[in-house]
Amino acid sequence: MNKKERIYIIGHKNPDTDSICSAIAYADIKNRTEDGNFVAKRAGQINEETEYVLERFGVRVPGYLPDAGTQVKEIDIHEIQGVSGNISVKKAWEMMREENVVTLPITSEDEKLHGIITVSDIAKSYMDAYDSSVMSQAKTKYSSIAETLDGHVIVGNEHGYFVKGRVVIGSFHPDFMEKYIHKSDLVILGNRADDQLCAIEMEASCIVVGLGAKVSKSIQKLAMDHECVIIISPHDTYTIARLINQSIPIKHLMTKENLVTFSTNDFLDDIKDVMKTHRHRDFPILNKRNKYIGTISRRNLIGSGKKKLILVDHNEKTQAVDNVDEAEILEIIDHHRLGSLETISPILFRNEPVGCTATIMYQIYHERNLDIPKEVAGILCAAIISDTLMFRSPTCTELDKKAAESLAVKAEIKIEEFARAMFKAGSNLKEKSSEEIFYQDFKKFNVEESNFGVGQINSMDADQLNEIKNQILPQLEKECEKHGIPRVYFMLTNIIEESTELLFYGDGAKELVKDAFELNEIDENSAVLPGVVSRKKQLIPRFMMALQEQI
């Protein structure tokens, strides 16, 4: 495996403490035992409980990965250098041939994109070569004219610009030339002194003398007096006439309006649709500072690599990061029921009937003979306490308890004292909106073709749970059907009393609760469920059985 290849380890949306801490721990395990760059990520905003845990042990919050689709920054782009708009068409053409490209980006000194020029732009300029004043319109530099004609300036300011007049060929008798040479024209001439003298006296701004012919001192002196530039070229008149328009600065031909560009953060699925509607060969890429860094074409998208993911603490597609189907899943480490995720090829799937994914991480550390860093021991212990509700949840096993106790010693914390502080931090929701509370720990489920969502808040304070109830009840109706979910539930779990008040709303929501828990009568929008504290092991399995019986 390529050591530079990034592999993201990520938990579910609306991440809880286990989801975040297990991702951090597994990234530590992988980086210490395998080749590769393993990076812990999060699929959503962390809650107050997790924030407290990470701050308590001095661990950084993982970066946010909202979408598993492949981004431009993750594929190879053509890093062709941007060019100045002042270079000649000839020079641009030579660069295109050398780089084997059909598009050149035109940038400023600070790498801001000004425009692009393509082979077709150059070809079009040749086919439309009827305007003899195009070079002055383009404000062509005399040094560029000399360079394009493989010549040099012998009189005048080579850094000056041809800004007015036409390009004409002085191939007639001087008497006749006076009729068609205008002031400020650029005149292509041979070695006849009479022609050169006539052009200068007619106030030409520049004369180009072909075949490397020598220009007399008197003609040079007269040109200086009339501020006429003289360029000597080794080519014949025909070749000069063919080449001279190639001295035009490319900024005159470049496309600068309605440029189609992409950002390094753009997703390939999105840019494919844009590429279909624009028949360009290459598209400029801008970084987050809006500076040009390269180009991309349809060829770059063929066989482009996918994001590589390791999923922890979930295996349900509805709970996974957006566009998880676009990624390559390498592993899944979980402790929940088997869900709906599918993979293209076989993967390592470790699923154990324990109360917390962090317990599995604890096992892996020991299996690989790795010392657990103190801060990692702390966050893993916190995850186990959180997921098992300090060992009160029916999901808790002896292995969870032993792991937490061992980790607590390593982290130098007292479990009960730490748990109270952690749960207090997690249930401090005074500054949160009803919507934020609702989605703090919310998961979607699809059982027997029935979609529903379940949120949960755990607290040791009954009064606080009652306050949350008053906030959440109106929110249930707002959230129902918001994401294609016809019914929603919310668990207000009292850790001390080991019970839950279940709030619900939606079509058939009340009936499902009655059937699942065999209740005769319950309130219109809530039911008290003594002994129920686990969404995974007590609520969802009951719902599944009830839904199966309805078929």
* CATH number of residue 226's parent domain: 3.40.1390.20
Verify that 270 and 215 share a domain, yes or no.
no
Find the DSSP H helices in 234-338: 237-243, 268-277, 298-301
134 domain-assigned? no
CATH code (residue 109): 3.10.580.10
Q: Is 116 within 8 Å of 259 (Cβ atoms)?
A: yes
Verify that 143 and 226 share a domain, yes or no.
yes
Strands (E), 31-143: 37-42, 63-64, 103-107, 113-118, 140-141
Which tokens in the block code for residue 205? 């701004």
Which tokens in the block code for residue 64? 């946010």
Verify that 406 and 476 share a domain, yes or no.
no
Domain total for the chain? 4
How many angstroms separate the CA atoms of 52 and 425, rounded?
Answer: 7
Beta strand pairing call for 113-118 and 103-107: antiparallel
Domain boundary among 216, 232, 247: 247
Instruction: Please tell me the predicted confidence (pLDDT) of residue 4.
Output: 65
1 domain-assigned? no
78 domain-assigned? yes
How many angstroms separate the CA atoms of 440 and 437, rounded?
Answer: 5
Q: What is the pTM of this model?
A: 0.67
19 domain-assigned? yes
At residue 422, the 3 state secondary structure works out as: helix
Verify that 492 and 351 share a domain, yes or no.
no
CATH code (residue 422): 3.90.1640.10
DSSP string covering 413-444: --HHHHHHHHHHHHT--TTS-HHHHHTTTEEE
Q: Is 497 within 8 Å of 532 (Cβ atoms)?
A: no
Could you give the dihedral angle defined by the CA atoms of residues 61, 65, 71 and 74, in that order, rounded to the nearest 10 degrees?
40
User: DSSP secondary-structure letter at 164?
Assistant: S
Domain boundary among 376, 407, 426: 426
Verify that 490 and 347 share a domain, yes or no.
no
* Residue with the two structure tokens 């780089």: 99
Verify that 182 and 157 share a domain, yes or no.
yes
CATH code (residue 526): 3.10.310.20
Verify that 353 and 370 share a domain, yes or no.
yes
Instruction: Please tell me the predicted confidence (pLDDT) of residue 2.
Output: 45
How many angstroms separate the CA atoms of 327 and 321, rounded?
Answer: 10
Verify that 440 and 506 share a domain, yes or no.
yes
542 domain-assigned? yes
Verify that 91 and 173 share a domain, yes or no.
no
131 domain-assigned? no
Which tokens in the block code for residue 435? 């919507």
Sign of CA dihedral 355, 356, 362, 368: positive
Instruction: Please tell me the predicted confidence (pLDDT) of residue 443.
Output: 87
The phi and psi torsions of 365 (rounded to 5 degrees) equal -55, -45
267: containing domain: 74-126+252-301
How many angstroms separate the CA atoms of 140 and 162, rounded?
Answer: 5
Verify that 490 and 541 share a domain, yes or no.
yes
Verify that 243 and 163 share a domain, yes or no.
yes
133 domain-assigned? no
Contacts of 350 (CB under 8 A, 6+ apart): 331, 332, 333, 334, 360
Which tokens in the block code for residue 296? 């991309």
Q: What is the pLDDT along the chain (551 residues), one digit of tens a residue?
A: 444 678 999 999 989 999 999 999 999 999 999 988 999 999 999 998 999 999 999 999 999 999 998 888 888 888 899 999 999 999 999 999 998 899 999 999 999 999 999 998 888 877 766 678 999 999 999 999 999 999 999 999 999 999 999 999 987 766 677 778 889 999 999 888 989 999 999 999 999 999 999 999 999 999 999 999 999 999 999 999 999 999 999 999 998 888 999 999 998 888 888 888 887 888 999 999 999 999 998 887 766 678 999 999 999 998 999 999 989 999 999 998 888 888 888 999 999 999 999 999 999 999 999 999 999 999 999 999 999 999 998 889 999 999 999 999 999 999 999 998 998 888 777 778 888 888 888 888 887 778 899 999 888 888 888 988 988 998 888 888 677 789 999 999 998 889 999 999 998 999 999 999 999 889 999 999 999 999 988 999 999 999 988 76
Verify that 102 and 144 share a domain, yes or no.
no
Which H or E run contains 134? helix 134-137
How many angstroms separate the CA atoms of 379 and 387, rounded?
Answer: 12
475 domain-assigned? yes
Q: Is 119 within 8 Å of 96 (Cβ atoms)?
A: yes
